[in-house]
Amino acid sequence: MPFTPLHLGLGASCKAIANKKFSLLIFSGVQVLMDIEPLFGIIRGWTTLHLYTHNLLGALLIALLAVPIGKVMSEFCLRNLFKQANWQITWQVATVSALVGSFSHVFLDALMHADMYPFYPLSYSQVLLNMIPYNFIFYGSLGSVDIS
């Protein structure tokens, strides 16, 4: 799902349930980081758009990168843009939000993209591909934003 808000449905639901124990800003930032590889691939004309960042190892590395960057940037935004001076994001909240963001991204994309190998480099297995119909994923993601 490159460059669509569909990944944010799960994040909005997590935020609605967990409130201050989940950072929607960090979750959203991870979605952008995850889709840098497909963006470059589209620009460069690659045949495989979801390889290095869209697997469990890549998702873990992106989450670990996103934790310190996301914590600092999110706290800056909360203080300066949203005027929430007292709202601190703990390291635990930053870590959970980044991990949920990166692994859910891999899971959702593995359900619908034929060039997704969630267990790469260990396996080229596509066990999740087409397991759930695309329309269900699409409307379920939109519905989770609406419910949140």
7 residue type, one letter: H
- pLDDT at position 56 is 95
Say whether pLDDT at 34 is over 60.
yes
Confidence of residue 85 (pLDDT cuts 50, 70, 90): confident
Across 25-29, 131-135, 142-146, least confident range: 142-146
- pLDDT at position 1 is 47
Average pLDDT, the chain: 86
Place of tokens 């800056």: 76
Assigned token pair, 129: 């591909």
Q: Output the DSSP codes for the chain.
A: -TT-GGGHHHHHHHHHHHGGGS-HHHHHHHHHHHTHHHHHHHHHT-S--SSSSSSHHHHHHHHHHHHHHHHHHHHHHHHHTS--TT----HHHHHHHHHHHHHHHHHHHHTT-TT--TTTTT----TTTTSS-HHHHHHHHHHHHHH-
Query: How many structural domains comprise the chain?
Result: 1
Which domain, by its residues, includes 69? 5-147
Confidence of residue 32 (pLDDT cuts 50, 70, 90): very high
Calculate the CA dihedral of residues 128, 123, 113, 50 and round it to 10 degrees.
Answer: 140
Confidence of residue 70 (pLDDT cuts 50, 70, 90): very high
d(CA 143, CA 13) in angstroms, rounded, equals 10
